[in-house]
Amino acid sequence: MAGPLENQDELNHDVTGKDGYVVVARRYRPQSFEELIGQSHVQKALGNAIETGRVGHAYLFAGPRGVGKTTTARIFAKALNCTTGPTIQPCQTCDICRMISTGEDMDVIEIDGASNNGIDEIRTLRKNVSVMASRCRYKVYIIDEVHMLSRQAFNGLLKTLEEPPEHVKFMFCTTDPDKIPITVLSRCQRFDLLPVTHDKIQDRLQFIVVSEGRSADESALDLVARRAHGSMRDSQSLLEQLMAFCTGHITVDDVHRLLGTTPSGRILDLLEHLSRRDAAGAIGCLHE
């Protein structure tokens, strides 16, 4: 089971905000392939590529929000650049691993495709791509929400993808691969990340609750997992809201109050009153 960031005391110094708090989703973000939850097919394929020396120059990680696309790209970048590697088990302790974990390594460049989607940004990328990595084995460009790039930007990027420098790896992340031109798709190794199963999400939430020194009803975590619809990040964000909303033990009623939803048992009671034409009882249910 994946835990909080490895070397917690040291890494928290780097990822903690000015107020000293690190959100749950970041604190429990997977740091290695073995910590990825629900994506064993991706873990195995990337691990085999590293072990056999068959790492491509461009990868596309597609899937719904919150399933680990960008996290997978970061772990892959770390595995390729760790001082003990390339390795499927990054050491997590060298300067390169630590800086990639905190998003501060100058050779692993993360770009938000939604806000940097024009041809000018891609021209800048193409100009910089020929510059060798300063200390890493590879310069890695991680472009999140790559489908948001303009047509002109894709055309500019295509020229680099056709003849990429040996020291550069591209990792694209998207929730909408159908919007990516086929000419770009055909030059990438594509991996589709799946929605995380309900049981895996619930197990992870239970682990986080215990790690945070809190407690929760199984039914409460079951409801949170169901509301996440396969998104691990969404489930952790909701759990964090719950832990702020409730100072003590978390119950399923707490979840309903936070979400503004009605327990199924109460709905059944209402239907029972309506079936018996019990107006007073039905109104009482609505007022509860």
pLDDT string in tens for the chain (288-residue length): 455 544 444 444 344 444 568 899 999 999 999 999 999 999 999 999 999 999 999 999 999 999 999 999 999 999 999 999 899 999 999 999 999 999 899 999 999 998 888 888 889 998 899 899 999 999 999 999 999 999 999 999 998 998 889 999 999 999 999 999 999 999 999 999 999 999 999 999 999 999 999 999 999 999 999 999 999 999 999 999 999 988 889 998 899 888 877 665 555 454 554 666 667 765 665 555
Instruction: State the amino acid at position 124 in one-letter form.
Output: T
186 lies in the same domain as 246: no
Single residue among 170, 192, 214 that ends a domain in this structure: 192
Does residue 288 form part of some domain?
no
Single residue among 141, 162, 192 that ends a domain in this structure: 192
Residue 93 to residue 175: CA distance in whole angstroms: 32
Q: Which domain holds residue 213?
A: 198-282
* 29 φ/ψ angles, rounded to the nearest 5 degrees: -70, 135
Which residues lie below 8 Å from residue 114, measured CB to CB, with a gap of 6+? Answer: 144, 145, 148
174 lies in the same domain as 251: no
Count: domains in the chain: 2
165 lies in the same domain as 220: no
Instruction: State the amino acid at position 27 in one-letter form.
Output: R
> Within 13 Å, how many C-alpha atoms sit on residue 264's CB side?
2
Instruction: State the amino acid at position 101 in one-letter form.
Output: S
145 lies in the same domain as 170: yes
